[in-house]
């Protein structure tokens, strides 16, 4: 009997191992939808790069939806008859763009994670409403760099991103939130504009929550490749957790660089990093942050090991 019992044990162990392999192989990839189409940054080059970096992990299936471009404005200094022509043309353009915008209906609810690389005109009301519904019902959302400049007057969006910049944001939009030199979080409601940055440079990211799945194993301080260091963002800043900061020479504050936000049943990851279609988004630290945040949002955990070439306290590291 003994040898048979042993065989059965081996058999069961093999079945379990095979089942595990099959489950992994068949496990559905995390579905991700990028939204772009308008941005004061080179979105047309940035989105494909970030998409490829995500797909390389083998964890994600990434789609992209691109909004209509901004409608052209009529030229200035026209004489009277030119003005009439321009008005006619403007009316035609308005109709064409209305049709395009009516067709722009991102199927948010089909995706595990939405990523915004969009900074432009307000989305049509139905799109705003469907996005709010998606998020309130448990949607997952990543905000990269200038996507936090978008929609200054859309309150629910600003609640999702926690903090935003530019677009006329002021104290009316909420406090500045940052760390002081003592390592305390400050919520500062003093009057002033939201959103600013100095010249691009490489800067140190300081991990404040090292036990979070996104930051786990990262060096406490790591050098992010050349980027725009956003400072003085402000917004509703509700249900917000700051995972990492960077010291701004301009604001003299430790500005949030990785933020998680709860919104209804939804969950958001916001990073103001990622300005340039170049070093900023080639930074292995940025790519790791992006990929880990997407996995964490979708599954609640991170299985991606920290890359061996992750930046150190003194050395930036660029992906090839």
Instruction: Tell me what percent of the chain is helix, strand and coil, each rounded to the nearest 5.
Output: 35, 25, 40
Site for Zn ion (CB under 5 A): which residue of 112, 228, 231, 295? 228
Binding to Zn ion (CB under 5 A) within 108-167 occurs at: none
> What is the distance between the alpha carbons of residues 271 and 131, in angstroms, rounded to a whole number?
19
Residue 30 C-beta: closest distance to Zn ion, Å:
27
Please report whether residue 169 would count as binding Zn ion according to CB under 5 A.
Answer: no
Pick the closer one to Zn ion by CB: 42 or 170: 42
Q: How many residues bind Zn ion (CB under 5 A)?
A: 2
> Which region holds residue 112: left if phi is over 0, alpha if psi is between -120 and 50, else beta?
alpha
The distance of closest approach from Cβ of residue 311 to Zn ion in the complex, given in angstroms and rounded to an integer, is: 20
* Under rule CB under 5 A, residue 292 binds Zn ion: no
Q: CB of 320: closest distance to Zn ion in angstroms? A: 23
Using the CB atoms, write b or e for 281-300: b if 16+ within 10 Å: bbbbbbbbbbbbbbbbbbee
Least CB distance to Zn ion at residue 262 (A):
26
The verdict on 275 binding Zn ion (CB under 5 A) reads yes
Q: Which is nearer to Zn ion, 119 or 260 (CB)?
A: 119
The distance of closest approach from Cβ of residue 59 to Zn ion in the complex, given in angstroms and rounded to an integer, is: 27
Nearer Cβ to Zn ion, position 37 or 219? 37
Residues contacting residue 81 through CB under 8 Å, at least 6 positions apart: none
| 27, two tokens | 């496990």
Radius of gyration of the chain (CA): 23
What six digits make up the tokens of 122? 């307000």
**Nearest residue (CB) to Zn ion, 281 versus 302:** 281
Residue 106 Cα distances to 43, 75, 124, 127, angstroms:
17, 32, 11, 7
Binding mask 232-271 for Zn ion (x = CB under 5 A): ----------------------------------------
Instruction: Give residues in contact with Zn ion (CB under 5 A).
Output: 228, 275
């Amino acid at each position: 009997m003994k040898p048979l019992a042993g065989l059965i044990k081996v058999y069961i162990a093999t079945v379990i191992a095979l089942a595990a392999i099959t489950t992994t192989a068949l496990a559905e990839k995390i579905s991700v939808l990028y939204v772009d189409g308008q941005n004061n940054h080179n979105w047309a080059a940035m989105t494909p790069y970030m998409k490829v970096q995500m797909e390389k992990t083998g964890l994600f299936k990434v789609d992209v939806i691109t909004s209509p471009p901004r409608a052209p404005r009529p030229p200035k200094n026209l004489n009277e008859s030119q003005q009439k022509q321009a008005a006619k043309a403007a009316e035609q353009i308005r109709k064409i763009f209305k049709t395009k915008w009516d067709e722009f209906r991102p199927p948010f609810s089909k995706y595990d994670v939405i990523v915004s690389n969009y900074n432009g005109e307000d989305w049509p009301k139905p799109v705003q409403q469907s996005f709010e519904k998606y998020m309130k019902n448990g949607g997952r959302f990543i905000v990269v760099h200038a996507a936090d400049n978008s929609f200054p007057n859309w309150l629910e969006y600003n609640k999702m991103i926690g903090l935003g910049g530019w677009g006329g944001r002021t104290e009316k939009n909420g406090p500045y939130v940052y760390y002081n030199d003592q390592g305390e979080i400050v919520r500062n409601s003093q009057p002033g504009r939201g959103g600013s940055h100095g010249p691009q440079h490489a800067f140190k990211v300081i991990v404040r929550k090292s036990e979070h799945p996104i930051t786990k194993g990262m060096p406490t301080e790591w050098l992010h490749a050349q980027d725009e260091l956003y400072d003085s963002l402000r917004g509703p800043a509700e249900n917000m957790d700051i995972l990492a900061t960077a010291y701004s020479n301009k604001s003299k504050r430790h500005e949030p660089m990785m933020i998680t936000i709860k919104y209804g049943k939804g969950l958001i990851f916001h990073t103001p990093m990622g300005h340039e279609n170049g070093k900023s988004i080639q930074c292995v630290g940025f790519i790791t942050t992006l990929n880990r945040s997407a996995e964490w949002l979708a599954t609640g955990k991170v299985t991606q090991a920290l890359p061996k070439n992750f930046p150190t306290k003194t050395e930036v590291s660029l992906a090839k």
